[in-house]
């Protein structure tokens, strides 16, 4: 009997084996963006500062849940994630540390960062209309609002409302149009669905190419990935779809960010701030954005040729991205009400 308890105890303690603290300086990133995308940048940082950078990747929600669970004992220093909505949630779940950095305040435009200094955008992506140029011309397109027009009946494919990109888009509409109009819009779009939402942005783009619908809303970088894909089919399809930036005549196209924040219980927050400042700097920005076919946070930085080919710069909706987080719950409820699955 005693032997059993002893063995159990040993097993449980085995789970408590923790990797030895690294003697040297380090900073740990929990990242929703694939690690390999910014590896070169991190290497450069390490070289310059002698601070070791460890990066672990995962899904945005899982990362947040993780940091929550780890609480005071988290090993995370930086949360690098996509979509301002996620950053907002992290802030109001008390997971982030408020930081003051003059550099960051200068480098990151106001509308791309948290006004209290909890999080900072590091790259921009836009959720644009992608369309089949054989079925739709630029003249047919104008605004997001226009998509609820019945002329698009049976011609729109969009991904599920469970995805944060759509939620953020609707959140921005709530900010601009108010709750009721946004709900009407959502209902109008649902009525225009050519089929029930399924798959991710790429699936929608495929459906457009294959003629199941004429237009969709997708993030710009997906097209970039298609164009530069190793798969012949994807490159072929990329040629059959075009990009349109909505609302260029009024407020501008809806944008979102990938961004970072320092974790509240970070042990290496000084190093973390240094890394953030680095990532926002001119040296890093070009590579950071290019690596995923995104846009840098300042207009003076170069973009990739592919991105350039869609038209750059474009008019951006400079809504404060906090709004995306603020209206997220409401957006989800509206989606449920109009049965946008």
For binding to another protein (CB under 8 A), which residues are involved?
1, 4, 11-12, 15-18, 30, 56-59, 61-62, 65-66, 69-73, 93, 160, 162, 195-200, 202-203, 206-207, 210-212, 231, 233, 237, 329, 332-333, 336-337, 339, 341
CB of 9 to another protein, least distance (A): 13
CB of 277 to another protein, least distance (A): 26
CB of 145 to another protein, least distance (A): 24
Q: Quote the strand ranges of 105-203, DSSP E.
A: 119-131, 156-157
Measured from the CB atom, is 196 or 318 closer to another protein? 196
CB of 6 to another protein, least distance (A): 13
Other Cβ atoms less than 10 A from the Cβ of 321: the count is: 29
CB of 52 to another protein, least distance (A): 17
**Token pair belonging to 28:** 């740990």
CB of 122 to another protein, least distance (A): 21
φ, ψ of residue 213 in degrees (nearest 5): -155, 175
Measured from the CB atom, is 66 or 274 closer to another protein? 66
Measured from the CB atom, is 104 or 213 closer to another protein? 213
Measured from the CB atom, is 116 or 336 closer to another protein? 336
Number of helical (H) and strand (E) elements in the chain, helices listed first: 15, 8
Q: From CA 48, how far away is CA 271, in angstroms rounded?
A: 12
φ, ψ of residue 79 in degrees (nearest 5): -105, 115
Measured from the CB atom, is 175 or 203 closer to another protein? 203
Could you tell me the CA-to-CA distances from 15 to 9, 11, 55, 70, 133 in Å, in that order? 10, 7, 22, 15, 57
Measured from the CB atom, is 9 or 312 closer to another protein? 9
**Token pair belonging to 163:** 């995805």
The secondary structure of residue 222, as a DSSP letter, is H
């Amino acid at each position: 009997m005693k032997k059993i308890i002893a063995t159990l105890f040993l097993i449980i303690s085995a789970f408590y084996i923790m990797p030895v603290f690294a003697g040297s300086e380090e900073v740990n990133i929990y990242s929703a963006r694939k690690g390999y995308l910014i590896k070169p940048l991190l290497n450069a940082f390490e070289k310059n500062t002698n601070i070791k950078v460890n990066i672990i990747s995962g899904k945005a929600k899982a990362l947040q849940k993780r940091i929550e669970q780890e609480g005071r004992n988290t090993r995370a220093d930086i949360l690098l994630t996509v979509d301002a909505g996620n950053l907002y949630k992290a802030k109001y779940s008390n997971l982030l540390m408020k930081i003051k950095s003059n550099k960051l305040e200068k480098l990151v435009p106001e509308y791309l960062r948290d006004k209290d200094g909890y999080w900072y955008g590091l790259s921009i992506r836009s959720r644009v209309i992608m369309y089949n140029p054989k079925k739709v011309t630029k003249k047919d397109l104008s605004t997001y609002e226009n998509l609820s027009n019945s002329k698009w009946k049976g011609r729109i494919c969009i991904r599920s409302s469970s995805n944060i990109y759509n939620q953020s888009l609707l959140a921005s509409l709530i900010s601009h149009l108010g709750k009721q109009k946004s709900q009407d819009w959502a209902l109008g779009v649902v009525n225009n669905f050519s089929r029930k939402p399924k798959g991710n942005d790429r699936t929608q783009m495929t459906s457009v190419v294959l003629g199941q619908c004429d237009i969709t809303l997708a993030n710009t970088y997906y097209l970039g990935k298609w164009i530069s894909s190793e798969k012949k089919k994807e490159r072929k399809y990329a040629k059959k779809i075009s990009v349109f930036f909505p609302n260029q005549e009024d407020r501008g196209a809806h944008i979102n960010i990938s961004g970072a924040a320092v974790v509240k219980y970070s042990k290496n927050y000084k190093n973390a701030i240094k890394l953030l400042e680095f990532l926002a700097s001119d040296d890093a920005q070009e590579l950071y954005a290019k690596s995923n076919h995104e846009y840098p946070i300042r207009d003076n930085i170069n973009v990739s040729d592919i991105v350039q080919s869609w038209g750059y710069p474009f008019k951006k909706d400079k809504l404060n991205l906090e709004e995306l987080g603020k209206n997220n719950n409401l957006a989800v409820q509206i989606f449920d009400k109009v049965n946008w699955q």
